[in-house]
Structure 1
Amino acid sequence: MQKLIFESAWDKTISDKDRKEIEAIFLETSQSGNQGIQLTPLWQAINHNGELLVTVLIHNFTMHAFSFQNTKLRYTEANEILIEHFFTIPSFSMQAKTSMPWTFIFPNENLDKKITLENGHLEII
């Protein structure tokens, strides 16, 4: 059975409203029968540095731990690729059958197209 976990910094700082929203999305998207690693969009924003922040619920539906080591992610809107970037997250490992929220920060030097922040989708390449 899939289990929702929060990284310790998230667990300490997340608002009750955001926690409830994440828990509701987890219940909707964590049905048995799913396989692999899935990224469920939560929200996206542009920060004060002009960087794209994409928050997703990472589902590890596999029977193995998963980590981000030089993993290429792609952000799209309306089926258009807007940005790709490689991520390595030190000390990050998701156990089998777990889900966790995470925010990926895409550097602004890679942002060369107009991002609307509507119906964005993040995928592992």
Structure 2
Amino acid sequence: MALFKRKTKKEKTLEQDQLQEQQQNDLNADDQDGLVKTTLSFHPDWELTSQEKYVYQFKHRQLPLLKPNQIAINGIKLINFDEGFVVVAILRNTLPKAIRFEAVDLLLLDENGQAIAKKQFELDGMDELPSMTSRPWRFLFSSEDKLVDKIPEEGWKIAFELKKSAAVHQLDLEESWENQISPSQKEHLEKMVASLPALSPGEVNFMGIEAKHGSEGNLAVTVLIRNGSEKNIQLEQIPLIVEDAAGDIICQGGFKLEKFEVKANTSKPWTFIFPKELVQKQQPDLSKWKVYPPQKK
């Protein structure tokens, strides 16, 4: 597949003049505003003609200079074929050391900055990209990677997809709790939430905080409901079982809740009171206990 069409003699002369002018501009700009230029580095396995190398050098010279300590990608050509397309791009490194890409998530953006295709690429075969160098590479997108029906051959750009860092898991308090607990109690809960092991993506679990017998023979169990998903969850009914240190069931029952929500990536404390008639063991060993919803059969 030809990536670049052959130039006429007039076009080659014009590009050579432009290349010389760009080289001079680069030399003049290199010391301005702390910008730096890179040298072009071809992968040793690439077999290129002199003309192809010249085209890449010309395209490389047209790219804007970078700041130190940057990793950048610039698209230089897009070729539609069959149901997919190939993007020819140049990866650039102005870090003080070589880097090795393992996998990168790339977005193709239209002229308005809207994503029109996305894909993750394994770049094990690219080897190291030395410091202060740029390397051309070809990225093959399939029809499944398209986010729109038609990919334009002009007015696009390619970019790294920046993943949002995982948000810190936080405490979520109902307003009634905010009004009832002291600042020190709230701080204690916040430290507890921060110290707990991380949840798996999408995991929701229940952790017992406190269990106390009431004067009327009931059992009050305070539970931390932990939501590890990226979405808020609504809970209307919660069936719970409480076991003591001996593994005996102390009590079990179901609770109806109204407009009870646990926000995404938060933990919410709540107290469930089991009435006397649901308490099955009168003198449980609460030195160690656990609470959990019954498993569905």
TM-score with structure 1 setting the length: 0.86
Moved more, 24-33 or 36-45: 24-33
2:254 matched residue in structure 1: 86
Amino acid at match of 1:45: K
2:187 is matched with 20
Distance in 2 of aligned mates of 1:30 and 1:57: 13
Question: For residue 293 of structure 2, what is the aligned residue in structure 1?
Answer: 124
**Who wins on radius of gyration, i.e. which is larger?**
2
Inter-CA distance 108–92: structure 2 relative to 1 (3 Å threshold): same
In structure 1, the residue matched to 2:129 is none
- Aligned-partner Cα distance in 2 for 1:11–1:90: 18
Q: TM-score, normalised by structure 2?
A: 0.39
Which of 42, 53, 59 is residue 220 of structure 2 equivalent to?
53
Selected match of 1:107 from 247, 252, 275 = 275
8 Å CA contact 1:40–1:57 kept in 2: the answer is yes
Say which SS state the counterpart of residue 11 (structure 1) adopts: helix
CA 1:33–1:82: 2 relative to 1, 3 Å: same
Kept in 2: contact 1:68–1:87 (CA 8 A):
no
Q: Residue type matched to 1:53 in 2?
A: A
For 1:69, the equivalent position in structure 2 comes to 236
Task: Pick closer, same or farther for the CA change 1:20–1:122 going to 2, 3 Å.
Answer: same
Flag as ranges the 4+ runs of structure 1 deviating above 4 A: none
RMSD over aligned Cα atoms:
1.9
**Could you tell me how far 1:101 is from its partner in structure 2?**
1.0
Q: Tell me, which stretches of 5 or more residues in structure 2 are unaligned?
A: 1-166
Give the drift of 1:43.
1.1
Distance 1:62 1:7 in 2: 19
CA separation of 1:121 and 1:32: change in aligned 2, threshold 3 A? closer
How many residue pairs match? The answer is: 125
Q: What is the percent sequence identity of the aligned residues? A: 26
Give, in angstroms, the shift of residue 48 of structure 1: 2.3
Residue 32 of structure 1 and its aligned partner are, at CA, apart by 5.3
Structure 1 residue 50 displacement after superposition: 1.8
Structure 1: which 5+ runs fail to align? none
CA distance in 1, matches of 2:277, 2:240: 16
Structure 2 SS opposite 1:92: strand
Name whichever of 115-124 and 31-40 sits farther off: 31-40
Residues 32 and 107 of structure 1, relative CA distance in 2, 3 Å threshold? closer
- Cα distance per residue 1:11-58 (max 9 Å; x no partner): 011023322221121011152546421122211101222211111211
